A = this chain, B = another copy of it.
Amino acid sequence: MEVTPESLKAKIKQQGEKIKMLKAQNAEKSMIDAELAILLDLQKQQASLTGDEGNTKGKNKFTLKTPKGTRDYNEKEMAIREKVFSTIISVFKKHGAVTIDTPVFELKEILSGKYGEDSKLIYDLEDQGGEKCSLRYDLTVPFARFLAMNGAQYQNIKRYQIAKVYRRDQPAMTKGRMREFYQCDFDVAGVFDPMIADAEVVKIMSECLTALDIGKYTIKINHRKILDGIFQVCGVPEERIRPISSAVDKLDKLPWEEVKREMVEDKGLDPEVANRGKELLGELFQNQELIANKSAKSGLDDMALLFKYLEIFGILGEISFDLSLARGLDYYTGIIYEAVTEQSGPPKLGDGTQVVRKSKKDSEDLDESTVGVGSIAAGGRYDNLVGMFASSKKGNIPCVGVSIGVERVFSILLQKVALEQVKANEVEVFVIAVADGLLEDRMKICAELWDAGIKAEFMYKNKPKLQPQFSVCDREQIPLAVIIGRDELNRGEVRIKDMRSKEQGEGGGFSVKRDEMINELKKRLGKL
């Protein structure tokens, strides 16, 4: 029945009058509610008929899309994504990690004041009565809230969480930046002897990146206390250190000259300090002024210990001490790190120099579309975040963690594989009839296979032709077929065909007794 705006309008009017009448008659509330529901539905139909999409001949029409900055993942993309997740999770579990789950939205006040300038990117839920809530912006703050709530049980925990987070950012989808995206966090919470947990987290980061097979990577490490010490030594006033840190953190995203301008002109830092970059590293331990600074000294001691442990873990070769690394988020208090791969970092010029180190003039020659997807994993120590939620100092729990950039890993892998070649389903056996359809026999055999734990399918057709059934096996890369015909069934036999060997032709394969079928299939599937 074609619904027209006119017929709807008439119906809505009629329904409205019915409800008025019922109310006038003092009818039971549930009766009126039922009629109201009908009215509501009619009105919704009307809204969708006459909505923004225009009134196209009275046919229902929706904007068929996902919200800005979000997307669907089809079955082939999901197969890759699940591979990424299971690879990472198996590394986490190797280190004794457990997982927890927190709600996708938190009380608004829980997220307030945790993200500095980025707070404006938080999604709020509409006030529909009740509490004010916001979608989580990351997994770290909810984890800290969880620890503060359950502190007594969690004096220490190694936890991972892989879940979606939400940011009202300007999406740049081709680079893997979205408004809804997965984060994949591993954190160790608890009071321990210095730098041991920190070193294991860096080791885990390294194991994940190696296991994901996304090419060469470097883990850049720095220490907030060293940065703070440098700023103090340079006479940067306390309240300006955070804004300057966030300028330092832009080093790999903006041309260096631009950052220096921001640090020097806007934020008032001495150009000499801003410009010394990596060369500062070798001097740090010799620098008497710096060593005299309590914060810098403490950071340098941490780094020395960390490097010793990383050497024991056999990953020192992957590490680079990089004073230009600052990490944007406010809550870091100790070591900070960020992994970049050749594919994720900023593009290099012909001479192998990173573009960010070149002058403004050079960087203008860049093709934006070749810019990498940024860091592939990052994290650090945040010793005070849990305390922000705790009612007493005793409730604080220091933490150190890493976030693996699974969306970026995913982008890199997508560039490497031919998506159409990805086998999304895991079907092992396709049950085929050579004649007469034999639907009930195909169903019976499939049920037998399922009950034996074999992944099997058949065609949802009473009398399928032979060729389309073989085509499914080809298209879905199904390795084995059980082929049945009237004669075989009468003899109590079925034919098994290995679809991976093309030589046999359609008539190929070999016959087995029905009661040997399961065993034979399992043998060929390596399941025995």
Q: Is A425 a contact of B98 with CB atoms below 8 Å?
A: yes
A454 to B207, CA, bound (A): 13
Q: Is A128 a contact of B123 with CB atoms below 8 Å?
A: yes
- Contacting chain B: which of A282-290, A440-448, A520-528? A440-448
Counting CB contacts under 8 A, is A511 at the interface? Answer: no
Partner of A146, one of B72, B389, B443: B72
Partner of A113, one of B48, B123, B461: B48
Q: Is A243 a contact of B112 with CB atoms below 8 Å?
A: no
- Contacting chain B: which of A190-198, A270-278, A366-374? A190-198
Contact flag A391-B61 (CB < 8 Å), given A99-B78, A126-B125, A239-B38: yes
* B-chain residues with CB within 8 Å of residue A476 when the two chains form the complex: 96
A63 and chain B: residue at smallest CB distance = B107
Identical copies in the complex = 2
Q: Is A96 a contact of B443 with CB atoms below 8 Å?
A: no
Task: Please provide the chain A residues from 113 to 143 with a CB less than 8 Å away from any CB of chain B in the complex.
Answer: 113, 116-117, 119, 123-128, 130-131, 133, 135
A395 and chain B: residue at smallest CB distance = B64
Contact flag A266-B65 (CB < 8 Å), given A126-B123, A126-B125: no
Q: Is A243 a contact of B78 with CB atoms below 8 Å?
A: no
Q: Is A453 a contact of B97 with CB atoms below 8 Å?
A: no
A516 to B89, CA, bound (A): 28
Task: Please provide the chain A residues from 191 to 220 with a CB less than 8 Å away from any CB of chain B in the complex.
Answer: 192-193, 196-197, 199-200, 203, 207
Partner of A104, one of B47, B127, B180: B180
Contact flag A312-B98 (CB < 8 Å), given A112-B44, A117-B37: no
Q: Is B103 a contact of A67 with CB atoms below 8 Å?
A: yes
Counting CB contacts under 8 A, is A298 at the interface? Answer: no
Q: Is A312 a contact of B266 with CB atoms below 8 Å?
A: no
Partner of A67, one of B94, B105, B123, B158: B105
* B-chain residues with CB within 8 Å of residue A62 when the two chains form the complex: 107, 109-110, 145, 388-389
Q: How far is the CB of A268 from chain B (nearest CB, A)?
A: 8
Partner of A125, one of B82, B100, B125, B199: B125
* B-chain residues with CB within 8 Å of residue A443 when the two chains form the complex: 196, 199, 309, 312-313
Interface string of A79-101 (1 = CB under 8 A from B): 10110000000000111111111
* B-chain residues with CB within 8 Å of residue A70 when the two chains form the complex: 103, 105
Counting CB contacts under 8 A, is A439 at the interface? Answer: yes
Partner of A66, one of B41, B106, B239, B243: B106
Q: Is A243 a contact of B38 with CB atoms below 8 Å?
A: yes
Q: Is A64 a contact of B457 with CB atoms below 8 Å?
A: no
Interface string of A453-490 (1 = CB under 8 A from B): 11111001110000000000000100000000000000
Q: Is B168 a contact of A128 with CB atoms below 8 Å?
A: yes
Contact flag A66-B126 (CB < 8 Å), given A113-B45, A196-B460, A243-B37: no
Q: How far is the CB of A222 from chain B (nearest CB, A)?
A: 21
Interface string of A50-85 (1 = CB under 8 A from B): 010000000111111111101111110011011000
Counting CB contacts under 8 A, is A150 at the interface? Answer: yes
Partner of A130, one of B68, B113, B159, B388: B68
Closest 7 pairs (CB-CB, A-B): A75-B98, A44-B113, A192-B460, A70-B103, A124-B126, A73-B101, A96-B457
